[in-house]
Structure 1
Amino acid sequence: MAPSSVCIGPGSLELPGGTCASFAITGYPREVGAGWLEPLLTYPGRLDVSLHIEPVPPLIAAQRLRRQIARLESAARSDAQAGRLVDFTAEAAAEDATDLASSLARGHGRLFRVGLYLTVHAFDAADLEAEVQQVRALAASLLLDAQPTTFRALQGWITSLPLAQDAIRQRRTFDTAALSASFPFASPDLNAPIGETGVLYGVNIASSGVVVWDRFAQDNHNSVVLARSGAGKSYFTKLEALRLLYHGVQVCVVDPEDEYRRLAESTGGTHIALGAPQVAFNPFDLPTDQAGDVLTRRALFIHTLVAAMLGEPLAPAARPVLDRAVLAAYAAKGIGSDPSTWSRPAPLLADLVEQLAIGKDPESTAIAERLAPYVTGSYKDLFAKSTTTRPEGHLVVFSLRDLPDEVKSVGVLLALDAIWRKVANPADRRPRLVIVDEAWMLMREAEGAKFLNRLAKSARKHWAGLTVVTQDAADLLASDLGRAVVSNAATQILLRQAPQAIGSVGDAFGLSEGERAFLLSAERGEGLLCGGNAGDRAAFAAISSQAEHEVITTDPAELLDNGDGTEIDPL
């Protein structure tokens, strides 16, 4: 791993592949902003930036600050007694030392000894001289005083290597705020605030920094993810959801293709495969953790559900008949307006059909006959018994892959109702994320389209965010609902686009010619983050750890081999 030979000069080193020179930063600006080292990190040449940090124990830090304040105040008194002009540099240093001591005494921060070192690389001595001049000019523009490590070139080069060895020990005291601003944990292209739920989206393609975004710190918490098939949109969405789970955000997913099952099983979430064998979901269940007249709201939802089962709106004459039958089905189970009865076992759809069959009027008989396929016919499995898995937990995934097309609208309605009850529950306020993958499928259903429209406009009021993921960007932008979803999304993720859709996407998001060309040629996982403000845009490449990748990947070639040559079930 070490070079075969090193020629040490007074100010530079000659290595087998070129030459290098090192610098120690001895002077710093009085105030710095977040990401102030970004110009050095994005330098177009080969420049190694090394930051060495050593925490100072609070007791020692307090003693040093007291001595420093005493020296500065003593020098100020001496100058005043001698009639010399005020040293404004010393006066500013005294104020800063006093502020640091006050912050340290209150426990608002700590002190650190920090060393910042630069190593410039080039192919030969002539190129090195030019590179050195450019780097020193760049450092001077940042109010940094870069001094060469003369006669210590070897020590300077070793200090810049990832060995955690500071052989120069040219340190400067930083407080917590200044040190945190020194880290490149922000993109220079993004000015949006970052709160407590910031998520790493990936690496900034234009620099060596990272792209961290907090959707819950924006004007609204919604996002849209648009990409062509195979561009990595579901992979990116699962990666964001997994990292939001670390922050305690509750995630609910409408999954048409059963791509989130492995994520739910790996994180201890709840996976409900509607339409799968032995999976039942009772729409009559009453939530016991919500305030208000829960029974009335559930009865009104049964009206909507029955209309979806019948495939048409209820006739005016059928509504009172159905309402009486719903309440009678609950009453037969001992459930009434008294909240103490709401915890009793809820009736099933068969109980409702039985109450309708008891009625003598033609409307109730007609409804009972048309509901027969869901009770005794080929669609009965989903409603034949009590709910097998309740939609509870930090991650809830509703898989729709096993639902036949004939009952898909009914299954979608059940999933969306369960999610909306969680989001709109005033007794359980927490940050939530609702993910609708392959949203173009959901938008074909009338109730699904209504849900997206309602949640996109009102999610923020309930401390929730909506993520709409789709590959049909043109269809989304061509409809009024699609445009409403996009306009109410403060976070917009654009991955690789098809040439046929780049025109409509570029016009809708105001993309430049360069941004359009980037989206046409982007690799899998590369995309453009567009924030709520026009200036918040960053090109990034999504990155994941090996553990995260194993949880969220759906590549069949990877799922067939778990790494030791044995096959695993491709979930």
Structure 2
Amino acid sequence: MGLGPSALRVNARSLDLPGGVCASFAVTGYPREVGAGWLEPLLTYPGRLDVSLHIDPIPPLIAAQRLRRQLARLESASRADAQRGRLADFAAEAAADDAAELAASLARGHGRLFRVGLYLTLHAPDAGVLEGEVQRVRALAASLLLDAQPTTFRALQGWTSTLPLAHDSVRARRVFDTAALAAAFPFTSPDLQPVLGDTPVLYGLNAYSSGVVVWDRFAQDNYNSVTLARSGAGKSYFTKLETLRLLYQDVHVAVIDPEDEYRQLCDHVAGTHIALGAPGVCFNPFDLPEEQGEDTLIRRALFLQTLIGAMLTQPLTPAARAVLDRAILATYRARGISSDPRTWARPAPVLADLTAQLDAIAASQTPEAGTAADLSARLAPYTAGSYRGLFAGPTTTRPTGHLVVFSLRDLPDEVRPVGMLLALDAIWRTVANPDDRRRRLVVVDEAWTLMRDDEGARFLYRLAKSARKHWTGLAVVTQDAGDLLGSDLGRAVIANSATQILLRQAPQAIDQIADAFDLTDGEKTFLLAADRGHGLLCGTGAGSDRAAFTAVASGHEHQLVTTDPAELADRAQRDDATAATDTEADHR
């Protein structure tokens, strides 16, 4: 197969191609100043317009010599005009000022100079349509203060210069500095001026232009985000895309996964997958963290009180807290663990050891006996009943690695808040380790499960408030906006999130969300009718605004993050057919 058309006719200003005609232009005049994305109108032209930018860096030594000569010519012309009594040439003075600024920037190493060629090729089905399109494109270029000249008698060279061949046949160049050249690239959304740092992430394409939406959560006022969407709107798909792209940039990620949707991604990047509730998987809340301080044992005892409050699905009374605190410390002492840090490396007790201590207090003739007996009885399902598997022994898999996924799918609904709290605590112990500072992201998918519980909501609130101090971002993802917006703690989590992402919303919740995020009528309409993967990015950091975007993924990324049942079933059938074919071939 050939690499080009079978035949073409070269005219003075156009080319006749099989199935159409085309005309090319070279941009020879530019405005004095340009803004970010100044080529955007040409890139979003509704017709077929090829835009080609050829860039050739100028060596700094040659650039400095040319700037000196240019400054000398301009200064000489200005002095000659003054000696002859002529009026000042303001264009020449402006050019001299620009040349002086470029020379200073080059000398400080703040920028470089480039020879740049900008060419346009317009395609149409016939010559009559092409003539009208040419007038519109030249008018559009003129509105941008660009002088687009047809490549008369060089139509073939103009066309080849816009092909992806990296060859400039016209060589109509203009010198650009680094800032002007960078502004030519459509790597920003016209609706969003984000502050970018070292970890920018492609969120998708702007829904109303060809620009891309790039966002860096670690360059905002805080690193937290909240993602709200109805079921099936693509919130988990988008979150997994961001997770994968942050892993590219050496950000450590921990995920609380209620539906085991992150397993394929985790396996592909060699992460750590912990399926809480699965047979043989234990996670001991009595484990002491590796990073140890003077109050390590006390903090563990306080967390255990919070965890047991979640197990009992109601806040502990002061009397119950006192009894529980006494029993927890006694449980540690029974294993030889005390306030002496040298004892903290010994094997930690398990939940059954705590109920044994409670039973011992219940058997004593003290005022706390009744409270201890009640606590022991209510903890029985977790030590000897249906939920005992998770707490039956020492921890089986340590939560370490660049990606750690806590899957909660195998946990009964009654135990999910407990499993989520256990996972959050394990993640927080890693985050708060002062000896291992790095960028981290904690993803809490389906956070409404945790927000239903008072203890879980308070824990999530503390994480949202404190994560930034440990170079960590919290990503809260939920389909039930009411659980976040309906409580003071949930609203506080949103208020502490500099990145807010709204995907398709249900009509029943749109008014509440519009009030919370100050949406316009147009934004409400967009969110009500948004397709899967379409959303609104609301940044609250300095200089940021809002942008409607469509999440995009490469084919390989899509294979890793999709959970579409139809796609997964079709993939499984293809895999089975391939395996059967391979088996048949082996038999032959």
TM score, norm. by length of structure 2: 0.87
Alpha-carbon contact 1:561-1:568 (below 8 Å) kept: no
CA distance in 2, matches of 1:47, 1:519: 31
Given candidates 540, 548, 554, the residue that maps to 1:539 is 548
TM-aligned CA distance change 1:482 to 1:357, over 3 Å = closer
CA distance in 2, matches of 1:549, 1:568: 22
Paired residues, number: 569
Which residue number in structure 2 is paired with residue 409 of structure 1?
417
CA distance in 2, matches of 1:564, 1:83: 87
Given candidates 207, 210, 213, the residue that maps to 2:212 is 210
Larger mean Cα displacement after TM superposition, 108-117 or 343-352: 343-352
Aligned residue runs from structure 1 range 136-535, under 5 A = 136-289=138-291, 291-359=293-361, 360=364, 361=366, 362=369, 363-425=371-433, 428-473=436-481, 476-532=484-540
Alpha-carbon contact 2:417-2:449 (below 8 Å) kept: no
Deviation at 1:525, TM superposition (A): 1.6
CA distance in 2, matches of 1:76, 1:208: 44
Letter of the structure 2 residue corresponding to residue 399 of structure 1: S
TM-aligned CA distance change 1:74 to 1:340, over 3 Å = farther
Alpha-carbon contact 1:228-1:498 (below 8 Å) kept: yes
Alpha-carbon contact 2:273-2:404 (below 8 Å) kept: yes
Larger mean Cα displacement after TM superposition, 117-126 or 46-55: 117-126
Cα distance per residue 1:36-70 (max 9 Å; x no partner): 21122222333221111123334444444444445
Residue aligned with 1:565, SS: helix
Alpha-carbon contact 1:440-1:470 (below 8 Å) kept: yes
Deviation at 1:225, TM superposition (A): 2.2
Residue aligned with 1:308, SS: helix
CA distance in 2, matches of 1:568, 1:479: 51
TM-aligned CA distance change 1:369 to 1:306, over 3 Å = same
TM-aligned CA distance change 1:303 to 1:88, over 3 Å = same
CA distance in 2, matches of 1:49, 1:208: 13
TM-aligned CA distance change 1:307 to 1:484, over 3 Å = closer
Alpha-carbon contact 1:22-1:157 (below 8 Å) kept: yes
CA distance in 2, matches of 1:323, 1:512: 51
TM-aligned CA distance change 1:440 to 1:370, over 3 Å = closer
CA RMSD of aligned residues (A): 3.1
Alpha-carbon contact 2:445-2:476 (below 8 Å) kept: yes
Alpha-carbon contact 2:160-2:169 (below 8 Å) kept: yes
Deviation at 1:282, TM superposition (A): 1.3
CA distance in 2, matches of 1:188, 1:161: 27
Deviation at 1:274, TM superposition (A): 1.0
Cα distance per residue 1:216-255 (max 9 Å; x no partner): 3334333332223222111011101111222333322221
Unaligned stretches of 5+ in structure 1?
none
Matched, 1:553 2:555: no
Which residue number in structure 1 is paired with residue 52 of structure 2?
50
TM-aligned CA distance change 1:25 to 1:247, over 3 Å = same
Matched, 1:565 2:539: no
Alpha-carbon contact 1:111-1:176 (below 8 Å) kept: yes
Larger mean Cα displacement after TM superposition, 526-535 or 238-247: 526-535
Unaligned stretches of 5+ in structure 2?
579-588
TM-aligned CA distance change 1:356 to 1:494, over 3 Å = closer
Cα distance per residue 1:414-447 (max 9 Å; x no partner): 1222233344555544433222212222222232
Matched, 1:15 2:17: yes
Deviation at 1:120, TM superposition (A): 2.6
TM-aligned CA distance change 1:391 to 1:483, over 3 Å = same
Alpha-carbon contact 1:416-1:448 (below 8 Å) kept: no
TM-aligned CA distance change 1:289 to 1:476, over 3 Å = closer
Residue aligned with 2:254, SS: strand
Letter of the structure 1 residue corresponding to residue 575 of structure 2: T
Alpha-carbon contact 1:559-1:568 (below 8 Å) kept: no
Residue aligned with 1:356, SS: helix
CA distance in 2, matches of 1:285, 1:53: 59
TM-aligned CA distance change 1:340 to 1:28, over 3 Å = farther
TM-aligned CA distance change 1:431 to 1:565, over 3 Å = same
Alpha-carbon contact 2:67-2:103 (below 8 Å) kept: yes
CA distance in 2, matches of 1:45, 1:101: 40
Identity within the alignment, %: 72
Deviation at 1:273, TM superposition (A): 1.2
Alpha-carbon contact 2:501-2:535 (below 8 Å) kept: yes
Residue aligned with 1:33, SS: coil
Residue aligned with 1:248, SS: coil
CA distance in 1, matches of 2:493, 2:79: 66
Deviation at 1:510, TM superposition (A): 4.0
Cα distance per residue 1:447-480 (max 9 Å; x no partner): 2222333334444444433322222345544454
Larger mean Cα displacement after TM superposition, 451-460 or 135-144: 451-460
TM-aligned CA distance change 1:299 to 1:196, over 3 Å = same
TM-aligned CA distance change 1:285 to 1:474, over 3 Å = closer
Cα distance per residue 1:368-409 (max 9 Å; x no partner): 454344334433221222211222222222211111233333
CA distance in 2, matches of 1:319, 1:491: 38
Letter of the structure 1 residue corresponding to residue 557 of structure 2: E
Deviation at 1:258, TM superposition (A): 0.9
TM-aligned CA distance change 1:521 to 1:410, over 3 Å = closer
